[in-house]
Amino acid sequence: MSDLAELQNRLGYCFRDENLLRLALTHPSVAHETSTPTPHNQRLEFLGDSVLGLILSYALYENFPAADEGVLSKSRAKLANATALAGHGRALDLGAHLVLSRGEENTGGRERASALTDAFEALLGAIFLDGGLDAAREFIVREFAGDFGALTESSGIENPKGELQELLQSKSPNAPEYQFISACGPDHGPEFECAVRHDGAELARGRGKSKKAAESDAALAALEKLREGKNI
């Protein structure tokens, strides 16, 4: 077992009950190598997943007051997907502290993304049990501060044209229309400008390195204006 004091220093959190931290780091593979039931981190992972969802939801709700529930949900999913959580586990070097079976150790379990994701969520569950919601919130907000800084209210929008059409057609049967406005710049790298219109009115304009990108940018601008309640 690696030095847990070193890990806690890196976490910025000192456990009152260090056994919770050990449990969070215990991979379920160890249960297959013993003849008696062996506790592992899957129950803590279940709890930590819910704690993370609650705290991220509240932070997004507070930080992005103009975003609707769809954008908030997609932003939360972006912050808490398996790839992102494995990255947090890797940055904390949780792999070096995992308790693994011999088989898991020999097949690269310390670097396995699923093991790091589960260990990170189990760690959140352990902090919650050890220090309560305030301790978990403090750790999560600190751990995700850089990710929040990179988000905008439109971060969760992967298909602006589709979402704009869905939003507008909930109020009108007519679909938005896109109009090419201009192209400027050198032949090898022109910039296009397009407008999006609906029911005869221009909603917004956008720019991009292709007409498709300009249309997408225009749709995104229109969505942002609509969600801010602006008259467009």
pLDDT tens digits for 111-131?
Answer: 889 999 999 999 999 999 999
Active site members: 49, 121
**Pairing verdict, β 177-184 and 191-198:** antiparallel
On the question of pLDDT at 153 being above 60, the answer is no
Q: Which tens digits make up the pLDDT trace of 6-23?
A: 999 999 999 999 999 999
**Pairing verdict, β 191-198 and 201-208:** antiparallel
* pLDDT for 149: 65
Mean pLDDT check: name the lowest of 65-74, 104-113, 133-142: 65-74
pTM higher than the cut 0.85: no
Average pLDDT over the chain reads: 87
pLDDT band at 217 (very low <50, low <70, confident <90, very high): confident
Burial class (CB in 10 A: 0-12, 13-18, 19+), 221: buried
On the question of pLDDT at 151 being above 70, the answer is no
Backbone region of residue 104 per phi and psi (left: phi > 0; alpha: psi in -120 to 50; beta: other values): alpha
Helix, strand, or coil here: 201? strand
* pLDDT for 226: 80
Answer whether 72's CB lies under 8 Å from 60's CB. yes
CA angle 12, 74, 162 (to 5 degrees): 160
